[in-house]
């Protein structure tokens, strides 16, 4: 792996978190220098309150929502929890959902071998009465994109509500179009150049949402707003609007990497499903994901074995287990690109993966 030492580290874990955009960092610094609580009535408070509402206006424009339908949260997990508890409806979730949803879900719906929701099972479940259906727009481990149009049609016909986790897909797919399908949408800033610790729940007009204890965000959460985080997120969204990423180029790089590694023996998961342009779930038969991660980390590459909140724990991927992969669910890593990932970085990664596979792959016995 001598060639890899030319660059000390290559980051290929953008599905976990993206680098903050320089404009976001500058805006956060400027906001942190402001004196005054946004809830205060004096001039200083009004000025900082203006920063908060500017961020709400920017997000509303970006998502196609009205500002009053946006509830700022600490991230995607809190946004999902707010919708789940606030809707006061029985919750059904696909078996491939993020843990932030599955930890709340008493009713689990099956997915197929590519991670796509079983629509017949969904329709059957909704015969039990109105419910809240939670579905990721795009899976955080495999990139699988769900057929939301068909899902929304079934949910609407049953008089139920749809919660969409768009944490991974936001900025890669148009959110205004998604707003016509979903009753609730959860998003998070740090997946697209904003800071960590800030997100939002987008709630359609008239959608039930029981207020929680707190004076902020229309009574849905307590505590002083994260003003620097909001300013940074708004700046990141403005930068994305001014210079949209070329996701077509990212798709081409992803596919070229997948072709090279599958030719070298990698297993590409969810290959037959529509997927996000930047995520690859790759298996190496007979080699635990944690072993692969350690080898690649030592070689200078940051990848993961699934969701960032669970990748520090040993065990098979619940997403790939739900897809029926059995032991292979514990042998997969996630490689996730950004629009700034270069061909040279991916060539270096591919060479490292090939060397690792040759060294670690179980040898056939005579």
**Which active-site residues does the annotation give?**
309
What is the Cα–Cα distance from 287 to 359, expressed in whole angstroms?
A: 10
Token output for 1: 């792996």
What is the Cα–Cα distance from 63 to 44, expressed in whole angstroms?
A: 29
Q: To the nearest 10°, the Cα dihedral for 193, 307, 178, 49?
A: -50
CA atoms within 13 A on the CB side of 196: 6
CA atoms within 13 A on the CB side of 183: 24
- On whether the CB atoms of residues 293 and 303 are closer than 8 A, the answer is yes
Backbone angles phi, psi at 77, to 5 degrees: -60, -45
Block residue for tokens 């008493």: 106
Q: What would the DSSP string read from start to end of 275-316?
A: B-TTEEEEE-TTS-HHHHHHHHHHTTEE-BSS-TTTTTS-S-
Parallel, antiparallel or unpaired: strands 91-94 and 107-109:
parallel
Query: In terms of DSSP H, where are the helices of the chain?
Result: 22-32, 43-63, 76-87, 99-102, 119-125, 148-157, 175-179, 227-242, 247-263, 289-298, 318-322, 343-360
Q: What would the DSSP string read from start to end of 131-147?
A: -EEEEESB-TTT-BBP-
| 132, 186, 195, 276 from 161: Cα distances, Å | 5, 14, 30, 25
CA atoms within 13 A on the CB side of 221: 21
- On whether the CB atoms of residues 356 and 292 are closer than 8 A, the answer is yes
What is the Cα–Cα distance from 62 to 3, expressed in whole angstroms?
A: 42
């Amino acid at each position: 792996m001598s060639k890899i030492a030319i660059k000390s580290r290559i980051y290929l874990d953008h599905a976990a978190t993206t680098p903050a955009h320089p404009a976001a960092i500058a805006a956060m610094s400027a906001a942190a220098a402001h004196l005054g609580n946004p809830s205060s009535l004096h001039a200083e408070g009004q000025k900082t309150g203006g920063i908060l509402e500017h961020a709400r206006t920017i997000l509303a424009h970006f998502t196609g929502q009205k500002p009053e339908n946006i509830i700022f949260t600490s991230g995607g997990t809190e946004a999902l929890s707010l919708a789940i508890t606030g809707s006061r409806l029985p919750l059904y979730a696909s078996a491939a959902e993020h843990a932030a949803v599955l930890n709340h879900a008493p009713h689990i719906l099956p997915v197929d071998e590519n991670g796509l929701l079983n629509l017949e099972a969904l329709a059957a479940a909704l015969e039990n009465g109105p419910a809240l259906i939670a579905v990721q727009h795009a899976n955080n481990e495999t990139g699988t994109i769900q057929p939301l149009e068909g899902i929304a049609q079934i949910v609407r016909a049953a008089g139920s509500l749809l919660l969409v986790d768009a944490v991974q897909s936001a900025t890669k797919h148009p959110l205004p179009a998604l707003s016509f399908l979903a009753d609730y949408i959860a998003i998070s800033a740090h997946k697209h150049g904003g800071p960590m610790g800030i997100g939002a729940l987008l709630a359609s007009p008239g959608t039930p949402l029981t207020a929680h204890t707190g004076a902020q965000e229309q009574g849905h959460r307590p505590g002083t707003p994260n003003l620097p985080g909001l300013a940074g997120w708004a700046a990141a969204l403005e930068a994305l609007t001014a210079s949209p990423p070329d996701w077509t180029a990212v798709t081409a790089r992803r596919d070229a990497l997948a072709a090279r590694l599958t030719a070298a023996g990698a297993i590409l998961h969810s290959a037959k499903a529509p997927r996000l342009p930047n995520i690859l779930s790759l298996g190496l038969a007979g080699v635990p994901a944690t072993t692969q991660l350690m080898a690649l980390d030592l070689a200078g590459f940051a990848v993961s074995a699934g969701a960032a909140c669970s990748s520090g724990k040993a065990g098979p991927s619940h997403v790939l287990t739900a897809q029926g992969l059995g032991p292979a669910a514990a042998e997969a890593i996630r490689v996730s690109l950004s629009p700034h990932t270069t061909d040279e970085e991916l060539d270096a990664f591919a060479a490292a993966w090939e060397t690792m596979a040759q060294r670690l792959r179980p040898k056939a016995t005579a």
